[in-house]
Structure 1
Amino acid sequence: MDGSVPREALKRLDVFVGEWVVESDFPGLAAPAGRSVFEWALDGRFLVQRSEIPVPEAPESTAIVATDPQTGAYTQHYFDSRGVVRLYAMTFADGVWRLLRETPDFSPLAFRQRFTGLVADAGDTIHGTWETSPADGPAAWEQDFTLTYRRSR
């Protein structure tokens, strides 16, 4: 394998690279804007996202996106200031960014999670929604909170 599959897959993520102001809408909670930075690491083999929202209920986080060397499929490795570690299956196609967690990994699966973000304004805005569903039984998705990323540079 010459590495072209994962490199091409990662190149599609260039739209994320930069600094973003993050506006959040948590039900029942007034949250000031936060910040998220996406940057390449280790010779462009991984996309790293660092996020902070100045609200105690919203932990600081670091996420690392990697690709499968055979298929180019994305996996997001998530870590936060609470000590939570999770794996998300990730897709990015046609301006739609999706994250999905439906099975236990490094932490118990108390609930399923998914995120859908729509890239707009020539790549300068991402409107996203996090949803949850009970871990047992059929998936009945309910909105958890929304995030809007606005490129600041």
Structure 2
Amino acid sequence: MDPDATEPVIGPRARIPNPALQSLAFLVGDWRTTGRHPALPGRTVGGRTSFTWHEGGAFLLVRTHVDESGFPDGMAIIGSDNGSGRLVMVYFDEREVSRIYAVVVGGQHTVTWSRDDPTIAQTVTIRAEADGTLISTGPITEHGGPWGADLSQVFHRIR
């Protein structure tokens, strides 16, 4: 029982690592980001991202911030579906935008999340480099138009 609560904690036995998410462990930590976006040619934008285990590792929580107006603060939670063998991400940001992404883990510490929707489709791939940094890249398209570059970032571990 939680000493500050009058009721027992609900579901404590489920607060355990989800084996389906263990391949994402390379992301866990707090990161300082630098990046480029086609809407800001020649400029580097900073920010922060954190990946933390949630509920003992049952889920992976993602929080993002870019130090530039026009880029929303966001958060997401990644979980799994044993029946289909799929990973999914549910995203939400300060604009009240909510999206679902398919998540695919590749070999050698690579993860891709993608969304195929007629209004906005995008893919983000993050890969770990030998020096411990993470690199993210990915294309985006809006309303079925041509695919183009989206925000690309380099993640430097803070902790």
TM-score by length of 1: 0.82
Root-mean-square deviation over aligned CA pairs: 2.1
Is 1:142 matched up with 2:148? Answer: yes
Deviation by residue 1:28-55 (Cα, 9 ceiling, x = unmatched): 4234421111111112110001111121
1:1-153 alignment, distance < 5 Å: 7-29=18-40, 30-94=43-107, 95-103=109-117, 109-121=118-130, 124-136=132-144, 140-153=146-159
Q: CA deviation at 1:121?
A: 2.2
Identity of aligned residues (%): 28
Q: CA deviation at 1:150?
A: 1.4
CA distance in 1, matches of 2:122, 2:83: 26
- Which position in structure 2 is the counterpart of 1:106? none
Q: CA deviation at 1:135?
A: 4.1
Which blocks of at least 5 consecutive residues in structure 1 are unaligned? 104-108
Which blocks of at least 5 consecutive residues in structure 2 are unaligned? 1-13
Larger radius of gyration: 2
Matched residue type, 1:98: T
CA distance in 2, matches of 1:149, 1:37: 10
Q: Which runs of 4+ in 1 moved over 6 A?
A: none
Residues matched between the structures, number: 141
The alignment partner of 1:57 has SS state of coil
The alignment partner of 1:12 has SS state of helix
Tell me if structure 2 keeps the 8 A contact 1:19–1:37. Answer: yes
Tell me if structure 2 keeps the 8 A contact 1:21–1:34. Answer: yes
CA distance in 2, matches of 1:28, 1:87: 24
Matched residue type, 1:80: D
- Which position in structure 1 is the counterpart of 2:6? none
